[in-house]
């Protein structure tokens, strides 16, 4: 049963890793867009309000990244516990 639990947790981590990579790409694109807006703001072509929507999106992405990291930490802890149990059973 333990080995099945380890496999399930590894699969969950793999799926979270894919989500994490997608969020990192999205964050990088958004940061690039914000940098472009900053340049236009400094030229006087945009007001400060243009940043509000983008900053909200960036904050939400960062929150989701933190949530994924926490989930991975939990699944990693579960894997560690499963491995410890397997080692105890071998001895």
List the domain boundaries for the chain.
2-85
Please compute the mean of the pLDDT values over residues 64-76 and round it to a whole number: 96
Predicted TM-score of the model (pTM): 0.82
Torsions phi, psi of 38, nearest 5?
Answer: -60, -45
Please compute the mean of the pLDDT values over residues 42-57 and round it to a whole number: 85
Predicted confidence at residue 91, as pLDDT, reads: 64
Predicted confidence at residue 41, as pLDDT, reads: 84
- For residue 42, give both structure tokens: 């400094």
- The per-residue b/e assignment along 45-61, b for 16 or more CB within 10 angstroms, e otherwise, is eeeeeeeeeeeeebeeb
Predicted confidence at residue 45, as pLDDT, reads: 80
52 CA to centre of own chain: 22
**13 — pLDDT class (breaks 50, 70, 90):** very high
């Amino acid at each position: 049963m333990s080995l099945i639990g380890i496999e399930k947790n590894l699969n969950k981590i793999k799926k979270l890793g894919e989500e994490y990579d997608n969020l990192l790409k999205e964050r990088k694109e958004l940061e690039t867009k914000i940098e472009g807006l900053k340049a236009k703001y400094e030229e006087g072509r945009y007001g400060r309000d243009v940043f509000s929507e983008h900053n909200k999106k960036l904050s939400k992405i960062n929150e989701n990244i933190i949530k994924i990291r926490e989930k991975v930490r939990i699944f990693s802890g579960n894997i560690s516990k499963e491995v410890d149990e397997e080692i105890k059973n071998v001895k």
